Amino acid sequence: MPFTENQTAQDLSKAVHTPNKNVYEYVLDDSQVEREFGAALDISEEVSVFTKLPRGFKIPTPLDDYNPDWAIAFQEGAVKHVYFVAETKFSLSSLELRGAEKAKIDCANKLFEKLDQVAGTPGVRYHGVTSYDHLLQLVGA
């Protein structure tokens, strides 16, 4: 299973307990933004299930492999897009993202746009978000 392979023992002392809707019982976050985002997903009425994608989950890009932050499935009928892959950042300003990081995010955007057009995966979306409220605005909740 792509979400569990290559997992190692983790220190859960600083992890967010997410027992309700996460694939795992804890979110191992990389920032305060991710910590708050994971906690909000876990208590959201709109979310069916979510996970913080492990470092081993990669999207190939021309620059290097890219690891998005989250995979989220919403309750059908609660939002416009049922599946969502998100990148959480404190700021989405291109001035505050490193060049390579911004380029990888741009490549991921293009990949998901193409998947929607070619592979017939309606509802799968990718976007950068700064908070759970920002995510809800994007998905039309």
Structure confidence at residue 38 (pLDDT)? 93
Strands 124-129 and 83-88 come out as parallel
Structure confidence at residue 45 (pLDDT)? 92
DSSP secondary structure of 98-120: -HHHHHHHHHHHHHHHHHHHHS-
Structure confidence at residue 93 (pLDDT)? 57
Structure confidence at residue 1 (pLDDT)? 44
9 Cβ contact list (under 8 Å, min separation 6): none
Provide the sign of the torsion angle of the four alpha carbons 88, 71, 4, 1, taken in this order: negative
CB atoms within 10 A of CB 50: 25
Structure confidence at residue 56 (pLDDT)? 87
Residue ranges in the chain modelled with pLDDT below 50: 1, 3, 95
- What gap in Å lies between CA 5 and CA 94, rounded to an integer? 32
pLDDT digits (tens, 9 = 90+) for 49-65: 999 988 888 888 887 88
What are the boundaries of each domain within the chain? 16-139
